[in-house]
Amino acid sequence: MIVTLIVMCEVGFWALLAAGLALRYLARMPRAGVAVLLCEPLLEVVLLVVTAVDLRSGATPDWKHGLAAVYIGFTVTHGHYMIKWADGHVLHRFAGGPRPGPPRYGMARAVHEWKMCARAVGAAAIAAVLLQLAVWYVGDPGQSATLREWQGKMGLVVGISVIIALSYTIWPKTPKHGDHSGEGEPQAGAERGPKAL
């Protein structure tokens, strides 16, 4: 049931995102679009409650409960970024906005990668806290091994994210000769997108 709910939350995320952007740009109803987009966090609340109820009902903690914690963590830290990313592409396609995308070269790209790293670290921290709460809630070390394993994986996520950001800092990407197309590109929706996001 947990895995099915995670899939439903992911589908629901993109469905609400599509509906919100359609209202904002196609139907010219920006407030209604924002209202729909603000419903996104409810999906994570539902998943959190159902996971807690499942454990309270006596279910043995396994990889599904760990995956739910990780999904919630990454949605919390990356959800708004994904909404801005999609908003930037729709703005560019239908409203003449700037071409979206992160900077491609130099220190600007390194800064972008460190911001993405911070999101990943935040997601891993949220997931680790939720997993620890689940461990305490279960109260049986023998049944909590899988949840502990997920916490270890979150440490791996942090390490990989830091290495990626460091690589762009130490070895900054440079444009090929005559190619300045990616230099200083604005972030998605940063210039002309509605301020509500």
Where along the chain do its domains lie?
Answer: 2-170
Interval 8-29 mean pLDDT: 94
Which residue did the predictor score with more confidence, 96 or 22?
22
Residue 162 has pLDDT above 80, yes or no: yes
- On average, the pLDDT of the chain sits at 88
Q: What is the pTM of this model?
A: 0.84
- In sequence order, the 6+-apart residues with CB closer than 8 A to the CB of 95 are 25, 192
How far is residue 73's CA from residue 77's CA, in Å, rounded to a whole number? 7
